[in-house]
Amino acid sequence: MESAHLPSSANYIVVGGGTAGLVVASRLSEIPTVQVLVLEAGLDKTSDPQLQNPVLWSSLCGTDLDWQFKTVSQVSTRPYTATIDPESGLRSSADNQYRSLKKNRPNLQIVTGATVDRILLSNDAVSHEVLATGVQVRLADGKLTEIKATKEVILAAGAFQTPKLLELSGIGNKTILARHGITPIIDNPGVGENLQNHSMYVQPVGLKPQEGTLTAGLQALAFVRTGDEADLAAKHLSPTDPEKVTCDDILRNPEKASANFFVSTRPTNNVAILGVIQCHPLSRGSIHISSGTDDPDSKPEVDPRFYSNPVDIELMTRHL
Ligand SMILES: Cc1cc2nc3c(=O)[nH]c(=O)nc-3n(C[C@H](O)[C@H](O)[C@H](O)COP(=O)(O)OP(=O)(O)OC[C@H]3O[C@@H](n4cnc5c(N)ncnc54)[C@H](O)[C@@H]3O)c2cc1C
The string of DSSP codes covering 135-151 is EEEEETTS-EEEEEEEE
Give the relative orientation of helices 94-102 and 19-28 as an angle to the nearest 10 degrees: 30
User: What pLDDT sits at residue 76?
Assistant: 45
The b/e string for 274-304 (b: 16+ C-beta within 10 A; e otherwise) is ebbbbebbbbebbbbbebebeebeeebbbbb
Amino acid at 299: K
**Least confident segment among 12-21, 77-86, 189-198, 226-235:** 77-86
> What lines the ligand 1 site, CB under 6 Å?
15-21, 39-42, 57, 79-83, 91, 115-116, 156-158, 161, 165
57 pLDDT above the threshold of 70: no
Distance CA 196, CA 312 (A): 12
State which of 1, 3, 6, 19 you would mutate to test the pocket of ligand 1, scoring each by most atoms of that ligand within 8 A of its C-beta: 19
Predicted TM-score (pTM) of this structure: 0.86
Distance CA 109, CA 5 (A): 10
Residue environment code for 108-129, b if the CB has 16+ CB neighbours within 10 A, otherwise e: bbbbbbbbbbbbbbeeeeeeee
CA 254 / ligand 1 centre spacing (Å)? 32
Q: Which residue has the higher pLDDT, 281 or 92?
A: 281
Give me the pLDDT at residue 1, please: 46
Q: Best of 60, 67, 68, 80 to mutate for ligand 1, by most ligand atoms within 8 A of CB? A: 80
- The phi-psi region of residue 190 (left if phi > 0; otherwise alpha if psi is between -120 and 50; otherwise beta) is alpha
Distance 92 CA to ligand 1 centre (A): 13
The pLDDT of residue 286 is 98
Least confidently predicted of 12-16, 42-46, 161-165, 209-213: 209-213
CA distance 73 to 88: 40
Q: Are 192 and 285 in contact (CB under 8 A)?
A: no
Q: Which of 23-32, 208-217, 252-261 has the lowest mean pLDDT?
A: 208-217
- 190-194, 262-266, 294-298: range with lowest mean pLDDT: 262-266
List, for residues 172-190, the tens digit of each pLDDT value: 999 999 999 999 999 999 9
Cα–Cα distance between 186 and 166 in angstroms, integer? 10
